[in-house]
Chain A
Amino acid sequence: DTEVTQTPKHLVMGMTNKKSLKCEQHMGHRAMYWYKQKAKKPPELMFVYSYEKLSINESVPSRFSPECPNSSLLNLHLHALQPEDSALYLCASSQGGWADNTGELFFGEGSRLTVL
């Protein structure tokens, strides 16, 4: 199984809602990532978990809250978002831990988020 699975594929939420994005991989990868991508822009790193511990937080606003319940799962909890947070949220994983290597990232198909 060489897939990273993200749910939901599409999410529409109001600014007062609380929702979560989910990501799952069963490749035994030890690092998992959240990226944010706006239209016609490159992905921007948000968070990195390595060996289930938060290793990198790229100064992301606290209305985004990551969680790594176990080595296969990564969540992104969303609360009180702004319309400018509308974007494609991509989850990725890599084989080694954060500083073990900078090898290939395996990406999910993304969750398209619209904040009204």
Chain B
Amino acid sequence: SQQGEEDPQALSIQEGENATMNCSYKTSINNLQWYRQNSGRGLVHLILIRSNEREKHSGRLRVTLDTSKKSSSLLITASRAADTASYFCATDLNDYKLSFGAGTTVTVRA
């Protein structure tokens, strides 16, 4: 079952701009993860944030988690053409299954 819902479904930005996408979920979680998928390829893990963490950084990525609102955001700063991909949040339900959100498709224009 799909627990996460992502917003927006699609995002088009100019190279150098920031991209922000949001993920909302329904039940309590142990952690939330973000993955990137280039067209027709496998998923690549970007970052994991635990339920007791509020913010995490990795290079140009910044993830926030608000457990009271059951939401997370992924910010990509100074976007590049190579950031063009689909981005999925994934939450672990209490039975340890990872459930992926619907995804946000990001297009970075040169």
Point out residues on A near B: beta carbons under 8 Å. 4, 6, 41-45, 56, 88, 90, 92, 98-99, 102-110, 112
State the CA gap A107–B42 with chains docked (Å). Answer: 6
B30-69 toward A: CB 8 Å interface, digit per residue (1/0)?
A: 1101010000111111001000000000000000000000
Residues of chain B at the chain A interface (Cβ within 8 Å)? 2, 30-31, 33, 35, 40-45, 48, 88, 92, 96-103
The answer to whether A42 touches B98 (Cβ under 8 A) is no
How many A-B contacts are there with CB distance less than 8 Å? 50
Which residues of chain B come closer than 8 Å to A41, judged between CB atoms? 102
Whether the pair B96, A106 counts as a contact (CB closer than 8 A) is: no
Best-buried of B33, B88, B100 by chain A (most CB within 10 Å): B100
Q: What are the residues of chain B within 8 A of A43 when measuring CB–CB? A: 43, 88, 100
A42 with B42, Cβ < 8 A, contacts A98-B96, A102-B31, A103-B48 known: no
- If A42-B2, A102-B30 touch, whether A90 touches B43 (CB-CB below 8 Å) is yes
At the interface, is chain B mostly helix, strand, loop or mixed? strand
A34 to chain B, nearest CB (A): 13
Asked if residues A88 and B40 are in contact (CB atoms below 8 Å), the reply is yes
Q: Evaluate whether A42 and B100 lie within 8 angstroms (CB atoms) in the complex, with A102-B31, A103-B48, A104-B48 already known.
A: yes
Q: Determine if B96 and A99 form an interchain contact, defined as CB atoms under 8 angstroms apart.
A: yes
Which of B35, B40, B44, B92 is in CB contact (< 8 Å) with A102?
Answer: B92
Residues of B within 8 A of A92 (CB): 43
Give chain A residues whose Cβ lies under 8 Å from the Cβ of B103.
42
Query: Which 4 pairs from chain A and chain B are nearest by CB?
Result: A102-B92, A42-B100, A107-B42, A107-B43
**CB of A54 to closest CB in B, whole Å:** 14
Q: How far is the CA of A44 from the CA of B1 in the complex (A)?
A: 8
A-B pairs with beta carbons under 8 Å apart, 7 shown: A45-B99, A90-B42, A90-B43, A98-B96, A110-B40, A110-B41, A112-B40
